[in-house]
Amino acid sequence: MAKVVHLTEIGAGIGQITMMDKDAKNTFSHNFIESIKECFNEVNQSDRYKVIILTGYDNYFACGGTKEELIKIYKGELKFNDLDFYRLVLDCKIPVISAMQGHALGGGFVFGLYADIIVIGKENIYTTNFMNYGFTPGMGATLIVPERLGASLGHELMFTANNYRGADLARRGVPFEVVPKKDVLETAKKLAISLAEKPMLSLVTLKEYLSRYIRKQLPKTVEEELKMHEITFKQDEVLDRIKSVYA
C-alpha cells in the first residue's frame, strides 16, 4: 500500500503534512486514513516540530467520504466515527495551520476547520455538502462549522449544502486569511515561521487551552450527530443521491 500522505520538515521547527491521494482525490480512502494517522502519530511522538502545516495537492485539499464508505453507513455497516482520524488535527499537541490551497468538500472541509489557524484560496470551492446526499452532517460539523465561520453563515452552509468560493466567504466576513490560491501555502509558511519562533512549551500549553472547549463539546456533538444519522441515513433517497452524485 503506497503512502499517500507525507510529512516533511520545511524549516526549523516547521513540518508540512501533504495529502496526495491522487487516485482518490483526497477522499477518505483506507490508504488516506492510515497514511495521515501515521504522519500525525510521528508528529506527536517527536520534539522536532513546533508547528504543522496541513495542505493538499494541485486543486484538492480534501474531499470527504468515499462512495463505498457512504453506502456502508447507509447499510448500517459503518458509522462515521469509526473513521477515527477526523480528530487528528484537533488532538495534535502542537498548532496546526490548514493551508486549504484547493477544493475542500464535505468532511474534507470540516477536517481542515479543526486547525488552529486557517488559510483558504479565493478561487477554490468550500462546502459542507452533506445535505446534498440527503443526510445530516457528521464529523462534528454541527459544532466546528458554526464555531469557525459564525453561527449564521455556518448554518447556511450546512442547510443549503451549496458551493462557496473562497472569495464568497471573504465577502461574508469569515475570520481567517483568504488569499489567491497561488499564495495560500506561502501565507501559511509565513505564519508558521512566526509560530516557530516561540517556545515549544508555550505553544503546547496554549494549544491545549485554546482547543479545550471544542475537545470538551465534541463527544456530545458526535453522539447527537449519530442519532440524526440513524434517522436520516435510512431514507431510500439517500442511497439514490449517493449513487447519483458519484456517477
pLDDT in tens, 123-144: 999 999 999 999 999 999 999 9
pLDDT band at residue 189 using 50, 70 and 90 as cut-offs? very high
Q: Which helix (DSSP H) or strand (DSSP E) does residue 245 occupy?
A: helix 236-246
Q: What is the mean pLDDT of residues 15-32?
A: 95
Cite the active site residues: 229
Cβ contacts of residue 232 below 8 Å, gap of 6+? Answer: 134, 135, 136, 238
Written out in words, the top-level CATH class of the domain with range 5-184 is: alpha beta
For 140-172, how does the pLDDT look when each residue is reduced to its tens digit (9 = 90+)? 999 999 999 999 999 999 999 999 999 999 999
Q: How confident is the model at residue 246 (pLDDT cuts 50, 70, 90)?
A: confident
> Any bridge partners for residue 103, and if so which?
60
105, 115, 81, 97: which is closest to 187 by C-alpha?
A: 97
Question: Rg for the chain (alpha carbons), in Å?
Answer: 17
Question: What residue ranges in 101-238 does DSSP mark as E strands?
Answer: 103-105, 117-121, 125-127, 164-165, 177-179
Write phi, then psi, for 118 (nearest 5 degrees): -130, 135
Under the banding of pLDDT at 50, 70 and 90, the label for residue 238 is very high
* Strand duo 96-100 + 117-121: pairing: parallel
Q: Which residues contact 146 (CB under 8 A, 6 or more apart)?
A: 154, 155
Report the alpha-carbon distance of residue 37 to residue 20 in Å, rounded.
14
Backbone CA torsion sign across 82, 7, 90, 179: negative
| Per-residue confidence (pLDDT) for residue 247, from 0 to 100 | 74
Helix (H) or strand (E) segment spanning residue 9: strand 5-11
Q: Which three cell numbers stand for residue 197?
A: 519562533
Which of these, 132, 139, 117, lies nearest to 210 by C-alpha position? Answer: 117
**Coil, helix or strand for 51?**
strand
Task: Show Cβ contacts of residue 159 under 8 Å, excluding neighbours closer than 6 positions.
Answer: 131
Helix (H) or strand (E) holding 18: strand 14-19
Look at residue 237 and tell me whether its pLDDT is greater than 90. yes
Mean pLDDT of all residues belonging to the chain: 96
d(CA 74, CA 64): 16
Contact 233, 133 (CB under 8 A): no
